[in-house]
Chain A
């Protein structure tokens, strides 16, 4: 494609233009052959299901789960189409509360990940070139083991008979306080959320920090900036794009997570993901489950848009 443009604007090179013109139908055919199969597959199994979900959110639930047939719906409404699920979502404050709780969980996870990832990413970026790859690999390696195993590991670490639990409770007893259960608590959920998503923060931060020109820090030092000022006024502002993209990579999956609260949380630690799972597999109210999923999608899109805007704006002067 590019060569045909170059050929068209360079009169002296007619051979290129001609050969491209001759093969234009063939090129178009190749274009279709290459992009067609993945396009059709994703249209069928990604776009269609999305559209179906939006449509389902405007339907009534079936008697035995699923969706009610369009014809056998309430005679007062138009062919079984309704805004009932949306009305229900906004009328019961419990759903709004779960959304807010999920957003706080995602925010806390993001901030803790940032606090843990930043020094590590900084250290890797400032290490000798040959040891960087190994240090990065050591960050992704545990991330390559199965997700459930990484969550399960915390069941052992935080379990009632674990060394950590005994240590914490021994300490609390010494202070004359009640012993606590670490497992099946919001704390356990938060720890596992951080554990599972930490590499998503380290990698974009490292990619950003690695590109910083060290001479900027030398210049700052020559101008009399101390270590703290060099970090706060040079490194940190320059790393904001990395912070924003890492934050989006942590925040978005945490917002939709159901497995971690399901395994490590108590009964009161439900997040949006657990609500959605419950609607689809438990109470089988699919229209309401679809509505919740659409609300989650909207939240995710807002966050992604915000992160892209912030990263773009900061990136322009970096």
Chain B
């Protein structure tokens, strides 16, 4: 019993450690003071500033566009990779899909920077960011889709084959409807990862194009204003919405991830 109480105290301390800093960011986004030091009074001022910050809005637009395009492509490629990894024993493909997920992001970032400039002679910008985001998202989608397939009864596919389904018919009428929740969850994951990514975008963005995380980074580095708190709060709200959506579409996948 004494041990149970001790465990609870330690766990509560960890939960506090996780939530207090973020709660402070949210609270200060409504604080009527330039300094993030103490509570002065309630205001919407920082959200108004945010609404009129053209650079921030442009960066948010870029982020949204990049996330939409890269998550769509990554979902298609990742779903294929997940099916291929589950159905055929492809060691090389599995290695290529899983390694980008596991390695430090900076390595993918700098190697893509080298590749884009030195080999493709590509001007860094939206296209290079989208390509980079697809590269790191494929693995996450594939893992979720493969997990979904692994939990399924093989005999369903055998039955479809015995009934004379062609490979396409089997995919269209059996496999795809069954893995759809995994595909949706993977797509939402890819979207969130893309919107959130800082490190790989930092190396592949070049000078002309900014995304929301890049813009937040330069704000933090140059001058911290409570406007950062406001945009952070809005972003947290967005991620929360994405999680609720993912939980709705694919509750089992979300649990499997945990």
Measured CB to CB, the nearest residue on chain B to A16 is B162
Q: Which one of A45, A49, A163 lies within 8 Å of B114 (CB-CB)?
A: A49
Measured CB to CB, the nearest residue on chain B to A118 is B10
Contacts A119-B10, A149-B236, A156-B21: A297 and B216 contacting too (C-beta < 8 A)? no
Complex Cα distance A286/B8, Å?
51
Docked-complex contact A280 and B110, CB < 8 angstroms:
yes
A263 at the interface (CB under 8 A from B): yes
Q: Which residues of A contact B239 (CB under 8 A)?
A: 144-146
Docked-complex contact B25 and A296, CB < 8 angstroms:
no
Docked-complex contact A140 and B106, CB < 8 angstroms:
no
| Nearest chain A CB to B23 CB, angstrom units | 9
Measured CB to CB, the nearest residue on chain A to B21 is A153
Complex Cα distance A289/B110, Å?
8
Contact with B along A117-157 (1 / 0, CB 8 A): 10110111010000001001111111011111111111111
Measured CB to CB, the nearest residue on chain B to A158 is B21
| Nearest chain B CB to A168 CB, angstrom units | 15
| Nearest chain A CB to B237 CB, angstrom units | 10
A290 at the interface (CB under 8 A from B): yes
Docked-complex contact A122 and B135, CB < 8 angstroms:
no
Docked-complex contact B166 and A26, CB < 8 angstroms:
yes
| Nearest chain A CB to B139 CB, angstrom units | 9
Q: Which residues of B contact A310 (CB under 8 A)?
A: none
Complex Cα distance A277/B221, Å?
16
Within 8 A of A (CB), among B96-144: 96-97, 99-100, 102-108, 110-115, 117-119, 131-132, 134-135, 138, 142
Binds A, one of B44-52, B54-62, B73-81, B179-187: B73-81
Q: Which residues of B contact A136 (CB under 8 A)?
A: 258
A47 at the interface (CB under 8 A from B): yes
Docked-complex contact B102 and A252, CB < 8 angstroms:
yes
Contact with A along B156-172 (1 / 0, CB 8 A): 01100110101110000
Docked-complex contact B10 and A273, CB < 8 angstroms:
no
Docked-complex contact B10 and A286, CB < 8 angstroms:
no
Scoring B8, B102, B110 by chain A CB atoms within 10 A of each residue's CB, the highest score goes to B110
Q: Which residues of B contact A262 (CB under 8 A)?
A: 221
Q: Which one of B84, B103, B135 lies within 8 Å of A31 (CB-CB)?
A: B84
| Nearest chain A CB to B213 CB, angstrom units | 5
Q: Which residues of B contact A163 (CB under 8 A)?
A: 38
A266 at the interface (CB under 8 A from B): no
Docked-complex contact A296 and B96, CB < 8 angstroms:
no
Complex Cα distance A141/B255, Å?
13
9 tightest Cβ-Cβ pairs between the two chains A and B: A256-B104, A153-B21, A35-B84, A119-B10, A49-B115, A161-B37, A49-B111, A38-B81, A30-B167
